[in-house]
Amino acid sequence: MRRFLSRKLITYVVAFFIGVTMDWGIPRLMPGDPIQSMLSKFSLQSASYTAQYNAFAAEFGTNLPLWQQYVNYWKGLFTGNLGLSVWAPPAHVTTLIFQALPYTLALLIPAITLSYIVGNRLGAAAARRQWLDNSVLPLGYILQAVPYPFLALLVPYLFGIVWKIFPISHAYNPGLLPAWNWTFVASLLDHWFLPFLTLFLVSLGGWAIGMRNLVIYELENDSSRYMRALGANEGVVRRYAYRNASLPQLSGLALALGVVVGGNVVTEIAFQYPGLGTLIFNAAANNDYFLLQGIFIFIVIGVLVANFVIDLVYITVDPRTRLSMQGSTA
């Protein structure tokens, strides 16, 4: 277990380091000067432009030598100071992020866990049951093949416009003031459902197909044959097959996270849902480089933390990692 965890931790530390360095480096490597593009919005005289430019450069520390900027960036990160937003001044980048975060989490956490659980159950049930397989399998392939933006348009079109069941944009009725009363919470849930459904559906097919294939493989395993030979009934054999098959699925979940986060951005924008995805998109559209940097590193941290949580779950589920018997690592 210690071996397993320490390897993982090294990966996380390196990932974090690379993420931060990219986050710091991209604005500095890319063509174009953020401050310049920021100031170009105001038509300034050349003298006042230079003055403004120098003031901003001093404020943001871009006039320092690069290594000093890099060190400052790390310092800012650990003190929680990600700078000011240019687009929504004078808001702190961290404030904006924490305002948007609950919406993103409210979409992501239920969508990921439910599609994982339902997909796995569905796939396991479909394995080696012809009638169910014939419906789950094609559906699974279609769900896997459907482009994300298309689903994010089709779902609101059908449920919101054609059948008029759910609202299709924003997180709550814009006519309401946020408060903890029933009307507002109902409005929140009402607006939450369709983006959630989109995110849920898009990964469902993959989990179902993956689980189906793994369970079929497990059911033909020697261990399953042995159990059948001992006279165990099929239900028991299936239960063991399912448990064995969920291990690779679990590590698949960790691998999927980075991508689900991307999908979440598409959903939030299609639904104008005020989470981190919409925020980073607005930041990019408005050349708000500090906000952009801040959200990027925040998302990276989020993915790493989620990965770590999945690792911990993996350790509790798989006794072999606990006993540090996970075979040769090379």
- Of residues 268-327, those binding other proteins (CB under 8 A): 269-270, 280-281, 283-284, 287, 289, 292-293, 295-296, 299-300, 303-304, 307, 318, 320-321, 325-327
Binding residues for other proteins restricted to 24-83, rule: CB under 8 A: 26-27, 30-32
Collapsing DSSP to helix, strand or coil, 87 comes out as coil
* Backbone angles phi and psi of 68, in degrees to 5: -65, -40
**Given 11, 40, 50, 181, the residue binding other proteins (CB under 8 A):** 11
Interface pattern 229-268 for other proteins (x via CB under 8 A) = ---------------x--xxxxxx--xxxxxxxxx-xx--
- Cβ(214)–Cβ(245) below 8 Å: yes
- Select from 24, 172, 207, 290 the one that contacts other proteins (CB under 8 A): 207
Nearer to other proteins (CB atom), residue 102 or residue 262: 262
Q: Which stretch binds other proteins (CB under 8 A): 57-65, 84-92, 102-110, 150-158?
A: 150-158
Nearer to other proteins, 106 or 245 (CB): 245
CA distances from 133 to 10, 136, 289 (A): 41, 5, 49
Compose the 120-139 pattern: x for residues touching other proteins by CB under 8 A, - for all others: -------xx-x--xx-----
Residue 48 CB, shortest distance to other proteins, in Å, is: 26
Candidates 39-47, 158-166, 170-178, 225-233: pick the segment binding other proteins (CB under 8 A). 158-166
Of 108, 122, 60, the residue nearest 86 (C-alpha)? 60
Given 135, 157, 176, 178, the residue binding other proteins (CB under 8 A): 157
* Helix pair angle (276-285, 289-317), 10° resolution: 150
Those residues with Cβ within 8 angstroms of residue 16's Cβ, 6 or more apart along the chain or in another chain? 300, 301, 304
Query: Which has the closest alpha carbon to 83: 93, 74, 98, 70?
Result: 93
Dihedral, CA atoms, 64, 65, 69, 70, nearest 10 degrees? 180
Cβ closest to other proteins, residue 184 vs residue 190? 190
CB of 75 to other proteins, least distance (A): 21
| Residue number with CB closer to other proteins (184 or 252) | 252
Q: Does residue 326 sit in helix, strand or coil?
A: coil
Binding residue (CB under 8 A) for other proteins from 61, 102, 147, 178: 147
Among 1, 216, 232, 301, binds other proteins (CB under 8 A): 216
Choose which of 1, 146, 188, 232 interacts with other proteins (CB under 8 A): 146
Residues 89-118 within binding reach of other proteins (CB under 8 A): none
Shorter beta-carbon distance to other proteins: residue 61 or 262:
262
Q: Which residues contact 103 (CB under 8 A, 6 or more apart)?
A: 171, 268, 273, 274, 275, 276
* Burial track 71-91 (b if 16+ CB lie within 10 A, e otherwise): eebeebbeeeebbbbbbbeee
Structure tokens at 131: 């009638």
Q: Which amino acid is at 78?
A: F
Q: How far is the CB of 208 from other proteins (least distance, A)?
A: 9
Q: Which two tokens stand for residue 279?
A: 């925020």
The size of the interface with other proteins (CB under 8 A), counted in residues, is 94
Cβ at position 233, least distance to other proteins in Å: 21
Q: What are phi and psi of 92, to 5 degrees?
A: -75, 145
Helix, strand, coil percentages in the chain from 3-state DSSP, rounded to 5 = 75, 0, 20
The verdict on 85 binding other proteins (CB under 8 A) reads no
